[in-house]
Amino acid sequence: MQSGAIRPIPNMLPRKLFTSDHEAFRETVRKFYEKEVVPNIEKYEQQQHVDRDLWNKAGELGLLCTTMPEEYGGSGVDRLYSMILIEEQAYAMDSSTGFSLHSDIVANYINNFGNDAQKQQWLPKMATGEAVTAIAMTEPGTGSDLQAVRTTAVLDGDEYVINGSKIFITNGYLCDMAIVVCKTGNNEKGSANLSLIIVEADRAGFSKGKPLNKIGMKGQDTCELFFDDVRVPKANLLGMEGMGFMMLMKELAWERMLVAIICQAGAEAAFAHTVQYTKDRKAFGKAIGTFQNTRFKLAELRTEIDFCRTYLDRCMELQLEENLGVDAAAAAKYKISDMFSKVVDECLQLHGGYGYMLEYPIARAYIDNRANRIYAGTNEIMKELISRTL
């Protein structure tokens, strides 16, 4: 049986994105996952969330909110550091930690759209792990249709009164704060009245459901959130009222890149495990990796993985230049998550019966991967976004 993190097989075309500083950071992240996460994955899956103190340990090592400005507790580094964090999580074949949503989505909303008081209040605590955060968009019955949001925030004097519910919320069970997508104003349908409001978890009327019983990613904290006359001060409004949809659209491209990154690295990890397995596993007196069918299948997968890696790294270059288009990000999310599904399915097949056993990382990768084609916008929505540019 294979377990733990594995190093990916070097790409046929060497990567050129990272400096020695990036690689030193990668080593720190790798050791963190090997020491703190991999030995506890089964425990996290049983309790359906990571231990709360894991967030504090990550914060102590500077693994949270790294791209945030130093004045707000971050390291002020580029998004390649985020890429490294996600890749090392995937190489560890871990789907439990919700660090990227906290550090690269929630933190970005606050840093890009919040005022100085909101930044000072939340970003330093997020960087240390003192505060765990979530973003509450999806609702029962709305799926990818953000314009159909029904959660309302009605202004009453100097407070918003929030009513509604959210579902499939990553980090929801442990969160100390959630950015909630609400309808404000006259509550008309459409995007014109969407707003983002910061809601602390200890507010009266804010409650959490039990962690949702998913088919995969069982260790990741995912739950429902409920808002029953939750009162928050008007100062908790993020940005301007009615600008929520615009803010969401601005950040969703990066969120889709995050999914593409974890799928790419996940495919590389699954492939590396499978190559090693085919070298170790014997049938008919020799390693199954020597059979032509195995060698050809691995060659096909290797080629698809490397082609997607080249596209993804180019997207990251454009992201660093702030020139990445919504359509390119959508294509990365759609194509690479589809590729990961194909790779992990073929790799499980090469494991034979053992691939169906959860003791083997390939089995966990198989069931954990499926959500990647759904969240951050389904792949069908990605195709719609791409088609609009034609």
8 A C-beta contact, residue 140 and residue 225:
no
What pLDDT score was predicted for residue 188? Answer: 61
**3 has a pLDDT exceeding 90:** no
Distance CA 363, CA 345 (A): 9
- List phi, psi (to 5°) of 61: -90, 0
**Residue where the block lists tokens 């699954």:** 270
Q: What is the pLDDT of residues 204-219, one digit of tens each?
A: 999 999 999 999 999 9
* Cα 390 to chain centroid, rounded: 28
Q: From the candidates 45, 87, 88, 255, which is the catalytic residue?
A: 255
Tokens of 261: 């990154």
| DSSP summary character for residue 8 | P
- 185 secondary structure, DSSP code: T
Give 57-81 pLDDT, tens digit per residue: 999 999 999 999 999 999 999 999 9
Query: Of 313, 265, 268, 332, nearest to 18 (Cα)?
Result: 313
Domains in the chain (CATH in brackets) are 20-132 (1.10.540.10), 134-242 (2.40.110.10), 246-387 (1.20.140.10)
CA–CA gap between residue 231 and residue 124 (Å, rounded)? 24
- Contact between residue 360 and residue 2 where contact means Cβ atoms under 8 Å apart: yes
Q: Give pLDDT, residue 141.
A: 79
Q: Span 304-321, mean pLDDT?
A: 97
Q: What is the pTM for the complete model shown?
A: 0.93
Distance CA 88, CA 6 (A): 9
pLDDT of residue 1: 40
pLDDT digits (tens, 9 = 90+) for 223-235: 999 999 999 999 9
Distance CA 333, CA 271 (A): 19
Q: What is the pLDDT of residue 87?
A: 97
Q: Alpha helices, DSSP H only, in the chain?
A: 20-32, 41-47, 52-60, 80-91, 99-101, 107-113, 116-128, 244-280, 292-320, 326-351, 361-369, 379-387
What distance in Å separates the CA atoms of residue 330 and residue 44, rounded to the nearest whole number? 31
pLDDT digits (tens, 9 = 90+) for 183-212: 997 656 567 789 999 999 999 999 999 999
Please give the mean pLDDT across all residues of the chain. Answer: 94
255 tagged catalytic: yes
